[in-house]
């Protein structure tokens, strides 16, 4: 069995399959290239207007075709109108025409979108069926951020991850403990699972470890149940590391068993007028190097707010190559060697 070392980080071709670049500043892509990273940037129905995200992504795709790819998205602004489905399919078509590698849907479906009666609209609502069917028929892969980590429904002081704590403290509109009228965590997971049941032919990448980050046994159950589903690791590595402290071999075996269905990503958003380039690029590199050490080597790290030393999983080269490069190309046909 062959393994990589820490020093191999720059020499191995890699993809960050979940990093939002919403600026036309090409320095971020040039920096990523220096680390031998290409970027798959998912557009989302939040923050920077969707049409602007698309125009920025299309230019980067044209300028950096071997190092940048993106996923289109659609707004739900016209939800409840007779032309909603037609509008969404039109937005999907425009993204694909601009060379999008797929489509992403966001957590506003299930967590903030409401119908005219004030009822929360979930992803398995029949109104979305023609859209999912269209993606299936056209063989357009879907990345889906549905629901949130289970911490979202816990008090801040009980959250098991510092990133979750900071996010939900700063975004109380998405801290569901504060919104008992909203669908439960179980409702979110069930709605996503219902979509997978209804559309077994849909290529479906469930972002953020499928919002089941707290228990890899639950993730494994879904991967076994839904052959068209895969996951990305974005913004949830701390949850994995915490579980590996408790049961190292189980976590390592999970990666080996599902090596064909895991994509790597860190989920940083880079927007116009945000933090300085030096600050953001330093954070990108810090996360990339730390995650490489954890996944590819057996080195020991101290991770903030996780009790105990974090021992790297030391996954074989064949597994690392799939998680970091081959899987994203198989699902999204985004890059070529």
Alpha helix positions (H), the chain: 27-34, 50-63, 84-97, 108-111, 129-137, 162-170, 185-198, 207-210, 216-225, 237-246, 248-257, 277-296, 317-321, 327-332
CB-facing half-sphere around the CA of 77: CA atoms within 13 A:
10
Convert 34-76 into a string of H (helix), E (strand) and C (coil). Answer: HCCEEEEEECCCCCCCHHHHHHHHHHHHHHCCCCEEEEECCCC
259-290 pLDDT tens trace: 999 999 999 999 988 789 999 999 999 999 99
Q: In the chain, what is the straight-line distance between the N-terminal and C-terminal CA atoms, in Å?
A: 23
Q: In the 8-state DSSP scheme, what is residue 105?
A: E
3-state secondary structure of 324: helix
For the domain made up of 14-276+316-332, the CATH class stated in words is alpha beta
Complete DSSP assignment for 140-172? --EEE--S--GGGGS-GGG-S-HHHHHHHHH-G
| pLDDT given for residue 162 in this prediction | 84
Query: What token pair was written down for 321?
Result: 């190559």
pLDDT per residue as tens digits for the range 217-231: 999 999 999 999 999
Indicate the domain borders of the chain: 14-276+316-332
CA–CA separation, 143 vs 10, rounded Å?
27
Show the tokens assigned to 231: 């996951």
Rounded to whole angstroms, what are the CA distances from 50 to 75, 188, 195, 268, 304?
A: 7, 24, 24, 17, 34
* Neighbouring C-beta atoms of residue 125, cutoff 10 Å: 18
At CB < 8 A and 24+ separation, what contacts does 244-252 make? 244/310, 244/311, 244/313, 245/306, 245/307, 245/308, 245/309, 245/310, 248/311, 248/313, 250/216, 251/216, 251/313, 252/313, 252/314, 252/315
pLDDT tens column, 50-90: 999 999 999 999 999 999 999 999 999 999 999 999 999 99
Q: Which residue in 89, 99, 92, 96 sits closest to 64, CA to CA? A: 99
pLDDT at 336: 65
Q: Sign of torsion, CA 104 109 280 301?
A: negative
For residue 184, the 8-state DSSP code is P
Instruction: Return the C-alpha torsion angle 328, 95, 149, 292, nearest 10.
Output: 30
Model pLDDT, residue 141:
98
- The DSSP symbol for 322 reads I
3-state secondary structure (DSSP) of residue 15: strand
The bridge status of strand 142-144 relative to strand 103-105 is parallel
Q: Which residue has tokens 């075996």? A: 253
Q: Collect the ranges in the chain with pLDDT lower than 70.
A: 336-337
């Amino acid at each position: 069995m062959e393994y990589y070392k820490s020093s191999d980080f720059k020499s191995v071709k890699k993809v960050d399959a979940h990093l939002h670049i919403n600026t036309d500043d090409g320095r971020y892509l040039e920096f990523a290239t220096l680390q031998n990273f290409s970027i798959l940037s998912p557009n989302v129905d939040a923050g920077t207007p969707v049409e602007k995200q698309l125009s920025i992504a299309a230019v980067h795709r044209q300028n950096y075709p071997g190092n940048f790819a993106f996923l289109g998205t659609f707004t739900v602004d016209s939800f409840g109108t007779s032309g909603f489905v037609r509008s969404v399919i039109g937005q999907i078509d425009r993204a694909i025409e601009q060379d999008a590698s797929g489509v992403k849907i966001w957590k506003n479906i299930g967590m903030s979108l409401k119908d005219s009666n004030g009822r929360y609209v979930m992803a398995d609502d029949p109104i979305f069926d023609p859209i999912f069917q269209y993606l299936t028929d056209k063989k357009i892969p879907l990345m889906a951020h549905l629901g949130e980590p289970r911490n979202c429904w816990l008090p801040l002081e009980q959250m098991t991850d510092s990133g979750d704590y900071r996010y939900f403290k700063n975004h109380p509109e998405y801290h569901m403990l504060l919104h008992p009228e909203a669908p439960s965590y179980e409702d979110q997971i069930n709605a996503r699972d219902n979509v997978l049941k209804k559309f077994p032919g849909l290529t479906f990448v469930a972002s953020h470890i499928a919002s089941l980050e707290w228990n890899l046994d639950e993730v494994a159950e879904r991967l076994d149940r839904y052959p068209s589903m895969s996951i990305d690791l974005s913004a949830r590595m701390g949850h994995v590391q915490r579980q590996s402290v408790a049961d190292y071999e189980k976590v390592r075996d999970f990666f080996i068993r599902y090596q064909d269905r895991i994509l790597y990503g860190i989920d940083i958003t880079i927007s116009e007028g945000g933090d300085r380039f030096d600050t953001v690029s330093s954070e990108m590199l810090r996360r990339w190097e730390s995650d490489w050490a954890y996944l590819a080597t057996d080195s020991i790290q101290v991770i903030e707010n996780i009790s105990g030393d974090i021992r790297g999983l030391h996954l074989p080269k064949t597994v690392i190559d799939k998680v970091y490069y081959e899987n994203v190309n198989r699902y999204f046909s985004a890059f070529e060697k």
